Amino acid sequence: RTMGAYLYLQELWRKKQSDVMRFLLRVRCWEFRQLPVICRIAHPTRPDKARRLGYKAKEGVVLYRVRVRRGGRRRLAHLVCRKPKNQYLVGIKYARSLRAVAEERAGRRLGSLRVLNSYWVGQDSTFKFYEVILVDPNHPAIRNDARMNWICKPVHTHRELRGLTSAGRSSRGLMVKGHGAHKLRPSRRANWKRRNQVSFPRYR
């Protein structure tokens, strides 16, 4: 099988613990830390991954890199005894992934754009870095593209906030199909409501 440039890139990114990738990721993380939390970039760090997720190097498609702080969440305790360390409940996990959080922050900052997808580009002890692909639904190059103009419909406004992107669907459990996924569709709540709602036929 002949390998093109993108296949070579894919193989490189699969071996993240090789000397080359460890050095590259370490240097890149240092660079990413110096930049703003949400910053626009001219080219994808992973062109092969970006293209697999729908990126095209054309007008109307932009890339933003987002920095997200790692770790779980904490909640204020009802009863605090003496020390400040006791004022929080720790070990609370957010239901959505950090990738979904990155998409959400990019979507909020750039309200006129639509979030298409995102991918991981690096992490260190404190942060994770993701690149988010966004599309301008009002650009003629997007509206006239038959493969891309589905995202211009009003129903896709802020799709990242409603769990419709790949990361959002994953946290909703919708990546699971068949056996074991009977109670997940159309959503957990809707499924529960259908099974627990008693409806009586109206007497006429």
Instruction: Judge if pTM exceeds 0.85.
Output: yes
Dihedrals phi, psi of 58, to nearest 5 degrees: -140, 170
Mean pLDDT, the chain, integer: 95
Q: 167-202: per-residue pLDDT in tens?
A: 999 999 999 999 889 999 999 999 999 999 998 888
CA 99 to chain CA centroid, Å, is 4
Q: How confident is the model at residue 59 (pLDDT cuts 50, 70, 90)?
A: very high
Check residue 155 and give its pLDDT.
96
| Rounded CA separation 83/17 (Å) | 42
State the average pLDDT over residues 60-66. 98
3-state percent breakdown (helix, strand, coil) of the chain, nearest 5: 40, 20, 40
132: amino acid identity, one letter: V
- Lowest mean pLDDT, pick from 78-87, 96-105, 114-123, 182-191: 78-87
Q: Is the pLDDT of residue 26 over 90?
A: yes
State the average pLDDT over residues 74-93. 90
State the average pLDDT over residues 110-138. 97
| Rounded CA separation 154/160 (Å) | 14
CA–CA–CA angle 58, 137, 65 (5° rounding): 60
| Rounded CA separation 57/51 (Å) | 9
| Rounded CA separation 157/96 (Å) | 19
**Is the bond leading into 84 cis (omega within 30 degrees of zero)?**
no
Q: How confident is the model at residue 82 (pLDDT cuts 50, 70, 90)?
A: confident
| Rounded CA separation 25/54 (Å) | 24
Check residue 1 and give its pLDDT.
66
| Rounded CA separation 29/25 (Å) | 6
Burial of 97 (0-12, 13-18, 19+ CB in 10 A): middle
- Any bridge partners for residue 64, and if so which? 40, 132
Check residue 165 and give its pLDDT.
97
Check residue 201 and give its pLDDT.
87
Of 164, 94, 167, the closest CA to residue 132 belongs to 167
By the 8 A CB rule, do 121 and 28 touch? yes
Q: Is the pLDDT of residue 204 over 80?
A: no
State the average pLDDT over residues 106-115. 97
